[in-house]
Structure 1
Amino acid sequence: MDALAHVDAYWRAANYLSVGQIYLLANPLLTEPLRPEHIKPRLLGHWGTTPGLNFCFAHLNRIITERDQDMIYVAGPGHGGPAAVAHAWLEGSYTEKYPDVGQDARGMQRLFRQFSFPGGIPSHVAPETPGSIHEGGELGYALAHAYGAAFDNPDLVVACVIGDGEAETGPLAGSWHSNKFLDPACDGAVLPILHLNGYKIANPTVLARIPEEELVKLMEGYGYRPHFVSGEDPEVMHALMAETLDRVFDQIADYRQGRADRLPMIVLRTPKGWTGPREVDGLPVEGTWRAHQVPLTRVRDSPEHLAMLEEWMRSYRPEELFDGRGHPVAEVLETVPEGPLRMSANPHANGGELLRPLVLPDFRDYAVEVKAPARVSTEPTRVLGMFLRDVIAVNPDNFRLMGPDETASNRLSAVFEVTDRAWDAETLPTDENLARGGRVMEVLSEHLCQGWLEGYLLTGRHGLFNCYEAFIHIVDAMFNQHAKWLEACRKIHWRRPIASLNYLLSSHVWRQDHNGFSHQDPGFLDVVVNKKAEVVRVYLPPDANTLLSTADHCLRSRDYVNVIVAGKQPVLDLLPMDEAIAHCTRGLGILEWASSDAGTEPDVVLACAGDVPTLETLAAAALLRECLPELRVRVVNVVDLMRLQPPSEHPHGMSDAEFDTLFTADKPIIFNFHGYPWLIHRLTYRRHGHDNLHVRGYKEEGTTTTPFDMAMLNDIDRFHLVMDVIDRVPGLAERSAHLRQHMMDRRLRARAHTREYGEDPAEIRDWTWPY
């Protein structure tokens, strides 16, 4: 047999295994005629894209073997799960990871039975599948993941199969531009394979129906060299695909050597449901949308469908592909690479195997000096930028900073002292900090930043994604998918831990001086807290030193999604570094210098989380000390939001006894929160003192206005907090009516001042702790 005959044998074997996964409970080798009891009671999974994926895997294996090429795949059509599972089983890596699914008839039956079956494996290219770094359950992110995997992997080629339905999504359309950020000297290559089989679930796809000349111009306009492989005759297609891949990999070699300025890509046109039933019940199936999921739906109760299924599976000639024991024959395995060169066993697809710890400078060296609390202001993210600058300097090929054109805006500009923005397109004399090999990845697409970072992390590296708080919502669904991936990986014994996905959210809801209502939304925290407690962490450091301590902790962590919310505007420095470390280690604590309940039971607890709410809480505590000196006030600041939950709900949670000691079980608690108030209620609803808890936070009141006016619009300001205390401490309202009215008047005067002068009154704008 020649090489293409071996490729065809592999392809037929993979197709056979894929059909078996969708349909069969028993009789895996068809050693007897199919009977209804051999068929699964629920037929789940997707056939339509699967044979095209198997075709790609078969041909890529030949390239890997002949060229000793380091390669992984990204399967954009997540519905091609049967293909990826069949591929891993044929390569032997599935049995290595799951010894009970052996490369024999018994193992094949288990392989079939488990697919989309209770207690088995998902139908997508899921974490359970060796070789996968991309589930594809939600479409649009394959190409971004592929480029993220290629960054800083100079010997790696990432073959990315893009379904034509996925190609219609906005994120995928933007992802084509990732080639402008690739440096052939230090990065790997991405081979996009646009798989056009013509249909989505029930409709034709756009790119499959536009004229080929227009598609060529589109791909060339994106900066690629397109190659077309089209047809349905297997023999012709094998020859054309092999010839095209040889040409493509020669061009990739030229690109890496600087002899070409464009990467190639392939447009693969095959019928949807290729090699499956052509017609069922008098209706066309192969090459139509009807092939998308299960072409034969009544196999258990229709003898005609049952016979068609058997004819379909026997068309692959399984007796030529598997020996009597059910093991793949030598001809099938001839082009399978060895060891870690197998795409299903490549360590880049299990990135924890390659993960090197970050070399981190001592964050204490960047500490802001705090001689007295809340007297001097610092921009926290500017301080963090100096730390990140040196993280980048000592990790030149292992860490990247992602952000949608906001690195400088978020005050992280110190990083440009040691690196540039990655850029491989035209530059002008007026440009600054653009260069091939830059470690800062900026593109005005949150989807791309997220996708790049996920691909980078999943292949064993580290990074941080900085973003305006309001617009991180753009990647809500991507965050969901990554969190689910991490949740699943925790239950998979062979998946090694990877670096955490770290978000830095700045330019936040309370300081949108230039933008206003459209930029005011802290709701990403609510989305994050929906995920499993084992995966998510939320931090709200109130000043520069707590931000440094938090960032260091997050960069060292594994298998989490860490969300850090920190402002870029000047905020008061509250804690010297040693106290900041202790405070962050606890996750929350009493600010003793701001409290007046030392040694006694408090009359009221003022709690806070977030830099601006903390400032207003401190100012309220100072007002209460001035106006009601007999009142015993405890000020509690929360850095780690998950500490508010019980330990039964989150690993960081506090016991009820600890919570009651800190917040009391029967005293009023006024909680000033960065986000939507109900999130605090949701985290604490089981606590003894929950009936006494009153939360202030963002309540969808906003505009372009001054910082203090923004606080007043949402009732988190110092004067309103004092009014809350008067209203809720028993017996205080009756004797503090004058003070309450005075607080109302001060709010009115502050509002009038902003309307007349366009800024907050100096006594508010320049407030510091007076004691």
Structure 2
Amino acid sequence: MPGQELFQPNPPADPSQLPDSILEYSVKLNTKDYLKPDELKNIQMFRRAADYIAAAMIFLNDNVLLKDKLTHDQIKPRLLGHWGTCPGLTMVYAHINRLIRNNGIEALYVVGPGHGAPAILSCLWLEDSMSPFMPEITQDNAGLKKLISRFSAPGGFPSHINAATPGAIHEGGELGYALSVSFGAVMDKPDLVVACIVGDGEAETGPTATAWHAYKYIDPAESGAVIPIVHVNGFKISERTIYGTMDNKEMTALFTGYGYQVRIVEDLENIDQDLAASMDWALGEIRTIQKAARSGNPIVKPRWPVLILRTPKGWFGPKAFHGELIEGSFHSHQVPLPNAKTSDEELSALHDWLSSYKPEELFTESGVPVPEVLSIIPEKAQLKLGQNPDSYSTYVPLITPDWKPLCGERGSQDSCMKAVGRFLKEVVKENPTTFRVFSPDELVSNKLDAVLDDSGRNFQWDIASRGKGGRVIEILSEHTCQGMLQGYTLTGRTGLFPSYEAFLGIVHTMMVQYAKFAKMAVETTWRQDVGSLNYIETSTWARQEHNGFSHQNPSFIGAVLNLKARFARVYLPPDANCFLSTVSHCLRAKNYVNLMVGSKQPTPVWLSPEEADQHCIAGASIWKFASTDGGVDPDVTLVGIGVEVTFEVIAAAALLRKLVPELRVRVVNVTDLMILSSSGTHPHSLTDEAFDSLFTKDKPIHFNYHGYPIELKGLLFGRPRLDRITMEGYKEEGTTTSPFDMMLCNNTSRYDVAIAAVRAGARVNPKVAVDAHAKESYIKHLIKKDRDFILEHGKDQDDCFDTPKFD
């Protein structure tokens, strides 16, 4: 059987000895004379022009077209940028242009090598995609000087791709995410093709390793396609790459195993012929797969194309200097001639290097690219890679159905997640092509499974599990879910990422990188709004079920709190009705990072739909039903922030009404965490006057908080009279135990709240003070009794979570 050697029971110990028959699985093409002479010449001239500008960006602040001999004062004072990846990036850019021009396709270019900005910026300038967004970057001498001199200079262009880069949908500052972002971008955009460069350094990251499976979640009937291009140039900062040490047999075996068709592009003498044929082949394979699916006869396990592009690191740069190889080594990774500002020898070498591109052949006297360079660029502006509307202006607002009919009755029990699942089911119906749920294999566990009633999962890899257009992507990789969510959001749609609370931290840095992109996007004049990045955090430490210490970690709240206030939103709705109001708001909101934290277990519905909406609009309110005399003139204010800890505050208020009737208690619930931040530090923060109105001006306040108390301290810092505040929250205590014991372990139980209230009340109310010690001792006795019961019976008291009664 052909190819059976792939499954030998005892493969050779030396991978280089793998049988040559493995290479049968790589695609062979006839690339000889594939391009017509004029087309080949024009592509090569475009590449030379782009490489010249990219190299000049790293070094020059003047004399940008080398009209005179370079001088030291024409070199930037600080040399930043990564040259090594640029020649490969510009070459691929040229060939995507050819693909667009010949086929009229809509395309985006997602670049994994983060610091390859010189390559992309140079190509954008050549296709005149800078001036529509930055009118001062004109396609002439003046504009070119601005582009080159501003690169990696204060107030100018950074050395990595970001939101100020036309055509970008990916923050290039951190490696690993390009591939998953690309797959997210093509979902529900059937005509879009994303060419994604994965550098061989980026290929070493965990997020990239899993994202290779992302095509198995792409339905070719409804979505576009990704052409992944693995750019193997062999080196990272100062070491070889793993992929760079793998031969073609190993690469073919690896990607064939992933399920791809592999094409090796490595004929350096005829690289443009090779790449042109390979890109045409890849697009042809995509169209074959899509045509079959769209005609109702989808290919089972379609093998999508992947290109393995081998080029020297820093190709066409300096070959060697001072006895060290530069081209084809790690020395070309960043700045090949780092002392050009001060060394005559290096300055001369730089002049020779830049002169080798013959800029006088590539640009007119006025600095305009010559017709041959411009000839490969798409004629229609919207087809240019830098001006595709998908990258900056295609946001479709989500239609959110009325959530109030889905609410539970006040006084009933309902799961926040069950309620949200009912709502999401309706959202999917209203938005069949602009909304998706990206979930790391936890949707049913998180009680959101109602969304699956009318919409399946979208796993595509075999007949048994084919989703047929389902709106749910479930892959047990938080990184891949996050990347897909980012790509989907930044190309105009809206997504939701529900997760176990403990594991959202896995995508902490990805979320931060996205927030940086969002910040820069808002600060541009030309990027339009996008939907918010929406997280639901559930399966919390407070209701851990069978899980133990490993599943207790609310730290993602702090990660969002640390973002710039303009973009950070954290909500802890206290019941199912409030959660419905919150999620409806978040799915409509634009440009934020929204984090919603709630329970999946049934808990009391405290507020009617109308009350819930008013409460969420305010961000916090006094719960009169649980307060003494409706909260008027309290001795102490008890604050709940989070579903389960709010229940404990309500239970504490009921207990205190019986045990210490002379204590006057006000109960406040906070659902919008950001209102607590010091006045003026966040768009939602309360004024000091509003804060005093809610929490009193001078009476003690005790917070019972779902997250880490240090987060709350940071928010409140700057508020006056903080010495009256005490707080408890999660403190890394607990194991596989009962729900109420988790409250006891972390001092967030009703008993702990009651003790804090008695102590605080004793300072301001003499009637409380006379019995404070006795009451506190009795409450501690109740703690001992409950803990003994839990240890003996392995469960909480039967009435532990009955809704508290206030007579």
Please state which band the TM-score falls in when normalised by the shorter chain.
over 0.9
Q: Deviations over 1:485-515 (max 9, x none)?
A: 1111111111111000000011011011211
Match of 1:256 in 2: 290
CA distance in 2, matches of 1:83, 1:349: 18
Q: Does 2:764 align with 1:708? A: no
SS across alignment from 1:22: helix
TM-score normalised per structure 2: 0.93
Alpha-carbon deviation of 1:767? 4.0
Alpha-carbon deviation of 1:763? 2.6
- Is 1:147–1:190's contact at 8 Å kept on the other side of the alignment? yes
Match of residue 724, structure 1, among 756, 759, 771: 756
Q: Does 2:486 align with 1:454? A: yes
Match of 2:453 in 1: 417
CA distance in 1, matches of 2:724, 2:150: 51
Alpha-carbon deviation of 1:647? 3.7
Alpha-carbon deviation of 1:216? 0.2
Match of 1:624 in 2: 656
Match of residue 348, structure 1, among 378, 386, 390: 390
Q: How does 1:31-70 map to 2 (within 5 A)?
A: 31-70=67-106
Aligned length: 759
Match of 2:471 in 1: 439
Match of residue 409, structure 2, among 369, 374, 385: 369
Match of 1:5 in 2: 41
CA distance in 2, matches of 1:613, 1:600: 23
Q: Deviations over 1:305-336 (max 9, x none)?
A: 11111111111111111101001111101010
Alpha-carbon deviation of 1:600? 3.6
CA distance in 2, matches of 1:47, 1:436: 44
Unaligned runs of 5+ in 2: 1-36, 293-297
- Is 2:110–2:169's contact at 8 Å kept on the other side of the alignment? yes
CA distance in 1, matches of 2:712, 2:699: 17
Q: CA RMSD in A?
A: 1.2
Match of 1:593 in 2: 625
Alpha-carbon deviation of 1:646? 2.8
Q: How does 1:665-680 map to 2 (within 5 A)?
A: 665-680=697-712
Q: Deviations over 1:702-726 (max 9, x none)?
A: 1011110000000000011111112
Match of 2:22 in 1: none
Q: How does 1:114-263 map to 2 (within 5 A)?
A: 114-233=150-269, 236-258=270-292, 261-263=302-304
Residue identity in the other structure for 2:391: A
SS across alignment from 1:485: helix
CA distance in 2, matches of 1:369, 1:724: 32
Percent identity between the two aligned chains: 45
SS across alignment from 1:490: helix
Residue identity in the other structure for 1:286: E
Residue identity in the other structure for 1:277: P
Alpha-carbon deviation of 1:768? 3.0
Q: Does 2:397 align with 1:357? A: yes
TM-score normalised per structure 1: 0.97
Q: Deviations over 1:570-624 (max 9, x none)?
A: 1111000000000000000100111114474210000110001100000001111
CA distance in 1, matches of 2:723, 2:47: 64
Match of residue 284, structure 1, among 309, 317, 325: 325
Q: Does 2:435 align with 1:389? A: no
Q: Deviations over 1:626-679 (max 9, x none)?
A: 122222111010000000013421000110111111112321111000000111
- Is 2:210–2:480's contact at 8 Å kept on the other side of the alignment? yes
Residue identity in the other structure for 2:256: E
CA distance in 1, matches of 2:693, 2:281: 71
Match of 2:29 in 1: none
Q: How does 1:621-700 map to 2 (within 5 A)?
A: 621-700=653-732
Match of 2:504 in 1: 472
Match of 1:516 in 2: 548
Alpha-carbon deviation of 1:232? 3.7
CA distance in 1, matches of 2:631, 2:673: 26
Segment of structure 1 superposing worse, 527-536 or 640-649: 640-649
Q: Does 2:598 align with 1:566? A: yes
- Is 2:171–2:514's contact at 8 Å kept on the other side of the alignment? no
Residue identity in the other structure for 1:209: T
Q: Does 2:55 align with 1:19? A: yes
Q: Does 2:802 align with 1:766? A: yes
Alpha-carbon deviation of 1:222? 0.7
CA distance in 2, matches of 1:287, 1:436: 46
Q: Deviations over 1:516-538 (max 9, x none)?
A: 11001111111111110000100
Unaligned runs of 5+ in 1: none
Residue identity in the other structure for 1:462: T
Alpha-carbon deviation of 1:378? 0.8
SS across alignment from 2:578: helix
SS across alignment from 2:341: coil
- Is 1:677–1:695's contact at 8 Å kept on the other side of the alignment? yes
Q: Deviations over 1:114-152 (max 9, x none)?
A: 111011121101111101111221111110000000111
SS across alignment from 2:130: helix
- Is 1:50–1:83's contact at 8 Å kept on the other side of the alignment? yes
CA distance in 2, matches of 1:135, 1:722: 48
CA distance in 1, matches of 2:805, 2:493: 43
CA distance in 2, matches of 1:709, 1:24: 66
Alpha-carbon deviation of 1:211? 2.4
SS across alignment from 1:202: coil
Match of 2:20 in 1: none
Match of 2:528 in 1: 496
- Is 2:532–2:593's contact at 8 Å kept on the other side of the alignment? yes
CA distance in 1, matches of 2:117, 2:212: 24
